Structure 1
Amino acid sequence: MTAQAGICAEPNLHAHYLLFDILPGHHAGVVDALAQVPALWQSLQQQYLDARFSGLVAIGHQAWDDLYPDARPSELCAFPAQQQGQRVAPETPFDLFFQLRADRLDVAYIAVQKVMALLAGKVELKDERQGFRYLDCRDMTGFVDGTENPQGEDRAGVALVAEGRFAGGSYVHVQRYRHKLARWEKLAIKTQEEVYGRTKADNIEYESAQKAPTAHTKRTSLKDAAGNSMEILRQSMPWGTANVQGLVFISCCNTPLHFTRMLESMYQPDEQGHFDHLTLFTQAETGAAFFAPAEDWLSSKGDL
């Protein structure tokens, strides 16, 4: 099975994110359109070699059965919404998610127009966001983003289902965060570093014993019962306007369990009342669960 290149792609300079709902009565037409997506990704890659374009389309957990009723990824389920007082990570389901990335903004936009034409009359665009590289792959808070990401061949091992009918696919979770930067920037740099659990300027992670139990890197570095790291591949990028800034957070993994446990650890207090203090400085506005099937699945309309 050939995985969509956007799942394991290395960081780019630009991205465009599209979230759609399918119009009533148009599911068969969407299946036909999605069958053309692998060829579209290949065409854009070949036409604009310097842009390092990669595409990704993922199907929402609620829409999957209407599109591909004969088989469903075994772990595809609803987004694991969280709420603790004013700290909220809501579920906002969407039917389709597109990630279009390139090192040229014009190529990313050309990809947007190609997708819009492909799906014209079949879907309603519910949300779009432009992502961009900020400094040396930093979040708008000023800290390097994705430090924990697997590298090289390990990216596929973490992100892709290895066996079975859905091999080459990935469980994808997408959130749009809006940062509370005015509040964040009032903190001393040392305090910001304690919130993250690593230094700001040179991105050196604190030793585990030196991290506060509320540090972001402490709350999201988890192990399973066997002592194995519960990794995800992050494909996140900042977004912003003159007035608001944030992060489009994207998790790709061979199981949704790792993301679910991380989100719970961030929002749910432990027995000592500790939670991820980064959640005091950013607000999740959306949250949706998807599965990104292999290109073979899309091209065959699920007939594998």
Structure 2
Amino acid sequence: MFLVLTVREGAEQDALGLLADLPGLIRSVRFRRPEDNLTCIAGIGARAWDRMYDVPRPPGLHVLPEIVGDRHTAVSTPGDLLFHLRADRVDLCFELARQLMLRLSGVADVVDEVLGFRYFDNRDLLGFVDGTENPEGTPAAAAVFVAEEDSAYGGSSYVIVQKYLHDLATWNAISVREQELVIGRSKVDDIELPDADKPSNSHVELNTIVDDDGTEHDIVRDNMAFGEIGSEEFGTYFIGYAADPSVTEQMLRNMFVGKPPGNHDRILDFSTAVTGSLFFVPTTDFLESGPPEAQPEVAPAPSTTEQPAGSLQIGSLREQNER
């Protein structure tokens, strides 16, 4: 479940109180069914940060810019808080979301709510496997977490979310081979097309970010399919975590403007972005205690795990890659 909220003017301290209590709320709901892996990640938008904290924004936090191409636009929409809830059972996500909104009644308003689901073998509603190129293990942690050398924000992350609506009638009217050329992968067995066959405006090609020196930059996606039969609204909720949000933003520029300009991602001819927001994802310690600059210096506790101490289990990376 994905919840994007705006905080009402004058209610900033109440929102901060909820964020500080979030780890405890998660534990209380998870206690009912610990085997079903309830987690919740909180993100804070740039405008909310300026109103809620008296310290400078994290270096990568800003309002997501609108990206305008010759035919398609990546919109920028309001978002002060993001809650990304995950579990093996919908009722756990629902109950935690309900408890969050009981606390935020009169404090914040939901501007977008999406209940996502796994679609067969991790496919989106276009019929292709989603997230094949997600890094795993140590590379995933390096892609997602701000380095520990950043004493103020080490172990935190950034996340960009977008809600895409699919024109399934138009998509299903083209051949499977044409669909494969749009995506850049085979549909049935999920194999990337050879370079000689893969168009330069395919989704795979434009979402591969490589420096001039050959260094490839990754993000971790946890995209979900969603849909409503009655309204015929079907789509993909994109959510991408990164240590540096400029990597994800470059992907979006490649998609919407094109590389070179005008060579936009062909998937956009069938999928329309109707939301777009950027958030900073702090650690649990940050949520509970506030910005490090405002706290007495305390020696960090030794960590014996690969995941940065105090992080909000940004996907529990091993768990996320397995699920």
Fold in common (TM above 0.5): yes
The 5 Å alignment of 1:134-283 reads 134-163=119-148, 164=150, 165-242=152-229, 243-271=232-260, 273-283=262-272
1:10-29 CA distance string (max 9 Å, x none): xxxxxx11111111111011
Matching residue of 1:21:
6
Equivalent residue of 2:111, what SS?
A: strand
Equivalent residue of 2:178, what SS?
A: helix
Determine the C-alpha separation between the residues in 1 that align with 2:138 and 2:272.
33
Distance 1:283 1:76, change over 3 A: same
Please tell me the residue identity of whatever aligns with 2:200: P
1:20-79 CA distance string (max 9 Å, x none): 111111101111111001222233334322211111110011111211222421111121
Distance 1:223 1:66, change over 3 A: same
Q: List, as ranges, runs of 4+ consecutive aligned residues in structure 1 with deviation greater than 4 Å.
A: none
Contact 2:70 2:262 in 1 (8 A): no
Determine the C-alpha separation between the residues in 1 that align with 2:81 and 2:42.
7
The 5 Å alignment of 1:113-152 reads 113-152=98-137
Determine the C-alpha separation between the residues in 1 that align with 2:218 and 2:58.
20
Residue-pair matches, total? 289
Determine the C-alpha separation between the residues in 2 that align with 1:272 and 1:28.
44
Given the two structures, how large is their TM-score scaled by the length of structure 1?
Answer: 0.91
Matching residue of 2:29:
44
Determine the C-alpha separation between the residues in 2 that align with 1:273 and 1:116.
43
Please tell me the residue identity of whatever aligns with 1:259: T
Distance 1:251 1:296, change over 3 A: same
Determine the C-alpha separation between the residues in 1 that align with 2:166 and 2:71.
14
Distance 1:260 1:66, change over 3 A: same
Structure 2, unaligned runs of 5 or more = 296-323
Please tell me the residue identity of whatever aligns with 2:266: H
Please tell me the residue identity of whatever aligns with 2:105: A
Equivalent residue of 1:173, what SS?
A: strand
Equivalent residue of 1:110, what SS?
A: helix
Distance 1:70 1:269, change over 3 A: closer
Structure 1, unaligned runs of 5 or more = 1-15
Determine the C-alpha separation between the residues in 1 that align with 2:127 and 2:86.
22
Determine the C-alpha separation between the residues in 2 that align with 1:296 and 1:271.
43
Q: Does 1:284 align with 2:298?
A: no
Matching residue of 2:286:
297
Given the two structures, how large is their TM-score scaled by the length of structure 2?
Answer: 0.86
Please tell me the residue identity of whatever aligns with 2:188: A
Give the drift of 1:210: 2.4
Determine the C-alpha separation between the residues in 1 that align with 2:128 and 2:281.
29
Greater CA drift, 39-48 or 208-217: 39-48
Determine the C-alpha separation between the residues in 1 that align with 2:39 and 2:137.
17
Determine the C-alpha separation between the residues in 2 that align with 1:271 and 1:167.
35
Contact 1:174 1:251 in 2 (8 A): yes
1:140-177 CA distance string (max 9 Å, x none): 00000011111123222111111221111111101011
Determine the C-alpha separation between the residues in 1 that align with 2:213 and 2:272.
33
The 5 Å alignment of 1:17-96 reads 17-96=2-81
Give the drift of 1:85: 4.1
Determine the C-alpha separation between the residues in 2 that align with 1:271 and 1:126.
34
Contact 2:143 2:219 in 1 (8 A): yes
Determine the C-alpha separation between the residues in 1 that align with 2:169 and 2:91.
32
Higher relative contact order (CA 8 A, sep 6+): 1
